Amino acid sequence: MKIGIDKISFYTPAFYVDMTELALVREIDPNKFTIGIGQDKMAFAPITQDAVTMGANAALDILTEEDRQSIELVILATESGIDQSKAGSIYIHRLLGIQPFARSIEIKEACYGATAGINLAKDYIAKHPNSKVLVIGSDIARYGLDTPGEATQGAGAVAMLLSANPRCIALEDDQVFLTEDIMDFWRPVYSEYAYVQGKYSTEQYLHFFETIWAEYQRKFNQPLESFTALCFHLPYTKMGKKALDLIIESAPVADQERLLENYRLSTLYSRNIGNIYTGSLYLSLISLLDHQSQLKAGNKIGFFSYGSGAVGEFFSGHLQEGFKEHIVTSQHQNLLANRTKLSIADYETRFKQELPKDGSTFEIDATSDPASIMLTGITEHMRQYIRKD
């Protein structure tokens, strides 16, 4: 039985920062951000968006009533969760109107979480072929103002509906994974911001990719040229390119050209959104599907997932007959086209805004955010979410 991604979509908030403007205010050559790091715009989450609302917004428009009745498992992968106890997926389950006899859980392992969610989903569907599983990766990447990580921030979510006989991409059982206890990036429970050893984290990403790729070849012997494209976790768009460069010389020139062009197409959304942590790898898949018109059923796509700390995984999938009818490209392009640019001063002011932590009541005007699902306040430490339709 084939199992995989039946539908996939992303959400990113309605505001962004232009990286050239940010570089000029920080007195940095803009080419460092746009070429050296490879980012043109950075999504900014207003105070009305968090991992729950972004995740729910990502799934909202791809689910039909039949999907809502068939979903038996809702998995939210996030490293910017809003509660140490309650799973954010429980709010998402309610906001999306999913039938009640479902499990809702939250998964954490840095940017790897959504890949862990997909593996859980596959196992569940193998035993319950009539059910569907909703897997969401949703995060706000924050390193702080005027820090080396600032240019690699971002915000957004990817929602994936997994099922048997998927209409988009069937996932193979060829996963190779690796765990090593390292401190490249982490966020202690008392900290709003991530701690990161920047250079070390990039070295570890590459070390994980090389090690896992070698093991994948030893186990499955799938030459690079058999892949139509490789999608990478993209903390910034240059990162995946560095990984691809490590292995690409082994392929014939025509295959190298195809893989490089498909890599470029897979990074277009990330280049304009930034790092969305758990959803990032799957945002690169959406970008490839939305921008590469020559993709065909049967094409093989490889995926490299990396979560600091660290866990990495490589796996593959095959595009399914008719997949183009199930991708929502215009919805994605409208979302990006309708964003508002923030001045750097406005971004800095909004960045410092905080929700109350002392139990006081806080209300936010529902018209301040065009999103369908948003946070409208906090009452007695309880977040108040609304769905506008």
The only residue of 48, 308, 316, 376 in contact with ligand CAA, by rule CB under 6 A: 308
Rounded-to-integer distance, Cα 331 and Cα 334, Å: 5
Size of the site for ligand CAA (CB under 6 A): 28
Residues 162-201 that bind ligand CAA (CB under 6 A): 184-185, 196, 198-199, 201
Q: Which is nearer to ligand CAA, 48 or 275 (CB)?
A: 275
Rounded-to-integer distance, Cα 78 and Cα 324, Å: 28
Q: Which is nearer to ligand CAA, 278 or 299 (CB)?
A: 278
306 binds ligand CAA (CB under 6 A): yes
Q: Which is nearer to ligand CAA, 86 or 199 (CB)?
A: 199
125 binds ligand CAA (CB under 6 A): no
Q: Minimum CB separation from ligand CAA for residue 285, in Å?
A: 16
89 binds ligand CAA (CB under 6 A): no
Residue 321 CA: distances (Å) to CA of 57, 64, 124, 125? 27, 21, 24, 21
Catalytic residue among 72, 93, 231, 233: 233
Reduced to 3 states (helix: H, G, I; strand: E, B; else coil), residue 150 is helix
276 binds ligand CAA (CB under 6 A): no
73 binds ligand CAA (CB under 6 A): no
Rounded-to-integer distance, Cα 13 and Cα 338, Å: 10
Residues 34-63 that bind ligand CAA (CB under 6 A): 35-37
95 binds ligand CAA (CB under 6 A): no
Residues 329-358 that bind ligand CAA (CB under 6 A): none
Q: What's the order of all strands across the beta sheet hosting 362-363?
A: 362-363, 373-379, 382-387
Q: What is the 3-state secondary structure (H, E, C) of 28-91?
A: CCHHHHHHHHCCCEEEECCCCCCHHHHHHHHHHCCCCHHHHHHEEEEEEECCCCCCCCCCHHHH
The only residue of 119, 131, 179, 202 in contact with ligand CAA, by rule CB under 6 A: 202
Catalytic residue among 111, 150, 168, 231: 111
Closest-by-Cβ residue to ligand CAA is 36
Instruction: Write the single-letter amino acid at 246.
Output: L
Q: Which is nearer to ligand CAA, 55 or 149 (CB)?
A: 149
Interstrand relation of 15-18 and 3-11 (parallel, antiparallel or unpaired): unpaired
Rounded-to-integer distance, Cα 308 and Cα 294, Å: 34
CB atoms within 10 A of CB 251: 17
Q: What is the 3-state secondary structure (H, E, C) of 189-257?
A: CCCCCCEECHHHHHHHHHHHHHHHHHHHHHHHCCCHHHCCEEEECCCCHHHHHHHHHHHHHHCCHHHHH
17 binds ligand CAA (CB under 6 A): no
148 binds ligand CAA (CB under 6 A): yes
The yes-or-no answer on residue 27 being catalytic is: no
The only residue of 12, 48, 270, 275 in contact with ligand CAA, by rule CB under 6 A: 275
**Token pair for residue 174?**
């060829």
H or E element, residue 24 = helix 19-25
Q: Minimum CB separation from ligand CAA for residue 180, in Å?
A: 13
144 binds ligand CAA (CB under 6 A): no
Contact present, 30 and 20 (Cβ < 8 Å): yes
The yes-or-no answer on residue 79 being catalytic is: yes
The only residue of 4, 235, 302, 317 in contact with ligand CAA, by rule CB under 6 A: 235
The only residue of 44, 269, 277, 314 in contact with ligand CAA, by rule CB under 6 A: 277
Catalytic residue among 79, 106, 150, 313: 79
The yes-or-no answer on residue 168 being catalytic is: no
Phi, psi of 18 (to 5 degrees): -85, 130
What residues are labeled active site? 79, 111, 233
Q: Rule CB under 6 A: which residues touch ligand CAA? A: 29, 31-32, 35-37, 111, 148-149, 151-152, 184-185, 196, 198-199, 201-202, 205, 233, 235-236, 238-239, 275, 277, 306, 308
